[in-house]
Amino acid sequence: MRTGTTISLPVLFMILLFPFPFATLSAQDEDYDPYASIDGITMQEVSRASKKHGLHWCAVPLVSYNEQLGLSGRLAGTLFDFGAGNHYPDYNQLLYAEAGYSSRQAGIFRAYYDTKTLLKDYKLDFDITYQPDALYDFYGMNGNQAYYDYLLSTPYYNANYYLHDNPNYISSAFYRMKRNYLRVAADIRGIIKDSLNLYWHAGLGMQYFNIGRIDVERYNKGLAPINQIADTITLYDLYRLWGLVAPEEAAGGFHPFLHAGVSIDNRDRMINPHRGFYGDLFLTGTLGIGNLSGYSNLKVNFNWKHHVTFWEDVVAFAYMVGGQLTVAGKSPFYQNGIINQLLSQRDMFEGIGADNLPRGMLRNRVLGKGFEYASVELRINVFHFRVGREQLVVSLNPFIDEMMILQPYDLTGYEDNPHFRTSRSAYMPHVTVGCGAKVTAGNAFVVSADWASPLHEQDNERLSNLYFTIGYLF
């Protein structure tokens, strides 16, 4: 049964009161008029009136709290190089950095560099991301066939508006494990046919996973007894005991990878596109090293994104469809929760659910060898205004997300296991609905707050799922 208890208490004023310090490091824009009226004009005219050149930067703090991660703080910033401004709102170069950590020992540390000028006619991307997580979500395999019993991780339950002790409670960390993740990648894009916006891509990188059961002693160190977790069995321990997680993959390891593919892209801009479409098809080959030598694999990915703007740029319709399939070899279970990306512009490659697709679903609720996903949303510009020299746009975007496993694990022999519902089909869509609020600065930097909830409580029994991120999902 769903609960209405609020477990996410975002400190929204930290965002609303922060003045979006979009500082100009070059000379003032020649066509800037601080007294120009912006009422009654289209967003295209606003964009032209706010044309930028040279270097600009923007940074924003994000502070939130929830019962699982505790108090979380993040600082994200972007440095843009618009050059002479001939391609604004597109940029010549971009440097993005983000750092965040929570009181429950989960964090993200990321740096991303994108340039179109370092090599003529080529686009280069470099990304390094480190995400430590002492309480990483693990809900089992095959989505709908993995039974999620939130009472196993909830000490109390609500009946007739009173809290009662839960006799089925095991631990608040029953659906948790340790996972530290490092990803380093470099990508290059070249032109196949410029008139068709057709490109080739190639890239290489390395992933390192350090996983295992929760380090209870280290996690509890310095915490008040009421905030400590019990050293009891977890679902991850059970999967190891049953052999669904093999000994070779139980601790993680190094995985170098190569990918190559093609894309078509006629969007009007890379960040916050208003019009156009993007599609890609690519292969990713990943090696297993040492004890993981039997876990080399080849996966194929496809994506299609389309943006249509109407009503004088006030309302936009956007949708995306995509999928990932294992076509050869075998990948470790922890790697099947990674969505391969041809371009590393957002950390969407890490994790399924929560603030990634499908938004609002329990993180890693869907775990299979192959899957498809889709999203449909409206983007409605509510109003726009200036803060100093910066043009800000506030918008809403209701959305529907979906994901379904296409290549499930074989769970034969687990029909009577209470942690599975093998009578259900793994080929059932997981659907979430929600609405986001966005603040866009200069058509280039987007701060996002999304609320979402799944249609089925097996995908998340909570209704209070609010996430703060940078940028649109796609």
Q: Confirm if 283 and 318 have CB atoms less than 8 A apart.
A: no
The rounded distance, in Å, linking the Cα atoms of 364 and 135 is 13
Look at the block and give the residue holding tokens 């000490």. 155
The rounded distance, in Å, linking the Cα atoms of 33 and 48 is 12
Q: How much of the chain, in percent, has pLDDT values that exceed 70?
A: 86
Residue-wise pLDDT for 122-175, tens only, equals: 999 999 999 999 999 999 999 999 999 999 998 887 777 677 788 999 999 999
On the 0-12 / 13-18 / 19+ scale of CB atoms within 10 A, 318 is buried
Band of the pLDDT at 296, cuts 50, 70, 90?
very high
Residue-wise pLDDT for 182-202, tens only, equals: 999 999 999 999 999 999 999
Lowest mean pLDDT among 98-102, 148-152, 268-272: 268-272
Band of the pLDDT at 27, cuts 50, 70, 90?
very low
The rounded distance, in Å, linking the Cα atoms of 148 and 153 is 10
Q: If you average pLDDT over every residue of the chain, what do you get?
A: 85
Q: What is residue 266's predicted lDDT score, i.e. its pLDDT?
A: 95
For the entire predicted model, the pTM comes to: 0.86
Residue 357 has pLDDT above 80, yes or no: yes
Residue 418 has pLDDT above 90, yes or no: yes
More confident residue, 267 or 469: 267
Contacts of 33 (CB under 8 A, 6+ apart): 49
Phi and psi torsions of 429, nearest 5°: -70, 145
Contacts of 439 (CB under 8 A, 6+ apart): 15, 20, 392, 393, 394, 446, 447
Of 19-23, 79-83, 353-357, 420-424, give the range with the top mean pLDDT: 420-424
Radius of gyration of the chain (CA): 23
The rounded distance, in Å, linking the Cα atoms of 21 and 154 is 42
Average confidence (pLDDT) over 217-237: 90
Q: What is residue 20's predicted lDDT score, i.e. its pLDDT?
A: 38
Q: Confirm if 134 and 215 have CB atoms less than 8 A apart.
A: yes
